[in-house]
Amino acid sequence: MSLFNSKKKWERDYGPYLILVLIWGLFCVFGLRLWYLQIYKGEFFAQKAKDNRLRKQSIYAPRGLIMDRKGKLLAINEPSYSLAIVREDCPEIDKTLLQVSKWTGVPFDELKANFERGRRRVKSFEPQIIIPNLSFEVLAKIEAYAPRWPGLKIMVRPRRKYLQGPVFAHVLGYVAQASEEELNKDSELALGDNIGKQGLEYVLEKRLRGKKGLKRMEVDAVGRSLHEEVLRPPQPGEDIHLSLDLELQKKVYELMEGRAGAVVVMEPDSGQILSLVSSPSYDNNKFVQGVSIEDWRKLIKNPLHPLQNRCIQSVYPPGSVFKLVVAACGLFEKKIDLEEKIYCSGAYRLGRRVFRCWKKHGHGRVDFTRSLVESCDVYYYKLGEELGVDRISSFAKKCGFGQLTGIDLPHEKRGLIPDRNWKLKRFKEPWQGGETLNMSIGQGYTLVTPLQVARFVSALVNGGKLYKPSLLSEESRAKAKALPFADDIRQKIIRAMIRTVEADHGTARGLRKDGIIIGAKTGTAQVVKLLSEYEEKEIEEIPYRFRDHAWMASFAKKGDRSYVVVAMVEHGGHGGSAAGPIVRAIFDFIFEQ
């Protein structure tokens, strides 16, 4: 039998079976695939098809409004427009991102990187925001061409707007896009969400944010909405009423324009703050929209540091304002005889060192009241030497210095009330007697914030209660500590402060105002020891960085109304001449209202 005949026989005998096996094989393959798609993965694909047609989307909740004590709006919400991409509807993502780059001017690489970073947080059927806060010019351009680019979607979201901008920036702070770290920490946040980053926006984030709602949309094959159903309505954030007064805040801001410093206006009987101004300030609206690199560089390179809240984040030597504390300590420790007079020649010797009074030729014979009224340094050098650093330091801390006040703002500084242990730990050196003398007039290592001074003066006025300073109108007044001295001592200090305004030689006599009881203490805090060449110069002739800080700590009463105003002007010179006119103008404004 030839080979040819053998092959034909094999085909005749086994060919039909082979074809049959192939048909069954194909049938099994298709059957298995059908089982895989319809049964094993059926639920998955059914859900995917459903998701493709019925999509769920978050409804953004408006952030709570912020108002002043009279209900005037300070922070509101306005609609903003963002560009999002839906991956499932976008067949050519790179080509689409390139077009978006041309419309918006955002580099393609940056867009692509942001897209890749964010895509793991967003399902393929959900809109992923790629450009937040579109300008109207860019929005109009995209609206005109977007229908040609499947997958692109314009999203409307509420955006924060601060109606007074820099006037309240250090109190309200601002919101900005949540960072990667913040997104990881908070499961309620989604890509592109704004959250509080500074000020009350940061501290009250949970109350202000609200809760997102949810809606279901039926879409067509290219993702266009055919029908929408709200599954869960959004819950707006809580509205917040502040203790601040809008008109007063604007007035204080205007008075501080062109100066670096801080002003605190407080109601002593409640601890509520009526005005809190740090100067210079910044426009917090720029952070909501995404601050530009150029604006950011201007802010951080500004030598006056406008982002810093000087009321609570800057610490200064208090100068003679601290004599109020040392005086109270002297009375408490019975180191002061009210009738005793000390001779001030303009200098006080301790060992081989001579400590000068601010009045070159001295005050002559000085008693307790005159020591505060005319702010005699020699009186407090002697008192400080008798008290010693341990008593002064402990007493000052009980008066609220060197500690946080607890105000509802982030990054508050404690200041510094030094003692022997602190210096040994900090400099590995023992405390020196001359340092106690410097401390007794508010110089040396002692550092305070303007808010701490306002809190202490309020306690002097309100009967001795150290309230937690409050920016919220509903804050309880229960959290008060007591000053560490009796009421008769407090009254002696108050009377001396009033004489500082009413006496002819009082250092705060510029505050005098008919029909109003005003008390005050001036402070001139030396920044550096002046070179001899500047000692006889006028303040304007001294380089700015060498000029003293100017303080004025004051209170005013008329009828049942009482206020505490503390002003600190950086490198302003003398307290009476630099900070005094600001305080005077504030009292004029308050009592004319």
Catalytic positions: 320
Name the nearest CA neighbour of 508 among 593, 586, 575. 575
- The rounded distance, in Å, linking the Cα atoms of 172 and 170 is 6
The residue written with tokens 């300590």 in the block is: 329
How, if at all, do strands 465-467 and 549-558 pair? Answer: unpaired
Name the nearest CA neighbour of 571 among 258, 341, 347, 353. 258
Q: Residue 519: beta bridge partners?
A: 555
- The rounded distance, in Å, linking the Cα atoms of 222 and 315 is 60
3-state secondary structure of 518: strand
| One-letter amino acid of 562 | S
The answer to whether 111 touches 130, Cβ cutoff 8 Å, is yes
The answer to whether 237 touches 207, Cβ cutoff 8 Å, is yes
Rounded to 5°, the CA angle 211-213-217 comes to 160
The answer to whether 265 touches 591, Cβ cutoff 8 Å, is no
DSSP class of residue 443? -
Rounded to 5°, the CA angle 550-330-463 comes to 75
How, if at all, do strands 73-85 and 66-67 pair? Answer: antiparallel
Q: Residue 562: beta bridge partners?
A: 557
The residue written with tokens 């300070």 in the block is: 74
- The rounded distance, in Å, linking the Cα atoms of 34 and 24 is 15
How, if at all, do strands 353-356 and 347-350 pair? Answer: antiparallel
